[in-house]
Amino acid sequence: DTAVSQTPKYLVTQMGNDKSIKCEQNLGHDTMYWYKQDSKKFLKIMFSYNNKELIINETVPNRFSPKSPDKAHLNLHINSLELGDSAVYFCASSRVLAPAYEQYFGPGTRLTVT
């Protein structure tokens, strides 16, 4: 059984398009995250939701819009895609906000913008 799943696994699209990535966790966790891993493997948090409430919103272009319809799902919509958006996007979840617990990562979505 997959704990944190993401769709799609690969996404190839052209500049200017709009795309979405979906994430689901079946661990019963309250908190979910989006991370971006660039070509140099650097991992950086983008957003975090706790019980559907946005609690972390890093300096991310407003072309990126997360949405959490319920505790088990966190989606990421990206408008007007740019070349620099090419990266691997990881969704993660953790049990609660505090105390800090392990964050379980999804398999990642490799986004390539051409």
How long, in residues, is the chain? 114
CB nearer to other proteins: pick between 42 and 83:
42
Contact flag: residue 27 with other proteins (CB under 8 A): no
Interface region with other proteins, contact rule CB under 8 A, candidates 17-25, 50-58, 70-78, 79-87: 50-58
Min dist CB 18 to other proteins, Å, is 26
Q: Work out which of 14, 28, 39, 41 binds other proteins, going by CB under 8 A.
A: 41
Nearest in space to 6 (alpha carbons), one of 89, 71, 65, 63: 89
DSSP for residue 51 = T
What the block records as the tokens of 85 is 């958006």
What the block records as the tokens of 90 is 């990881």
Specify burial of residue 32 (Cβ count, 10 A radius: 0-12, 13-18, 19+): buried
Interface region with other proteins, contact rule CB under 8 A, candidates 21-29, 68-76, 79-87, 91-99: 91-99
If binding means CB under 8 A, how many residues of this protein chain bind other proteins?
24
> Distances in Å between the alpha carbon of 43 and those of 2, 18, 51, 71, 100?
22, 23, 24, 23, 18
Min dist CB 103 to other proteins, Å, is 7
Name the site residues for other proteins (rule: CB under 8 A).
31, 40-45, 48, 50, 55-56, 90, 94, 97-103, 105-108
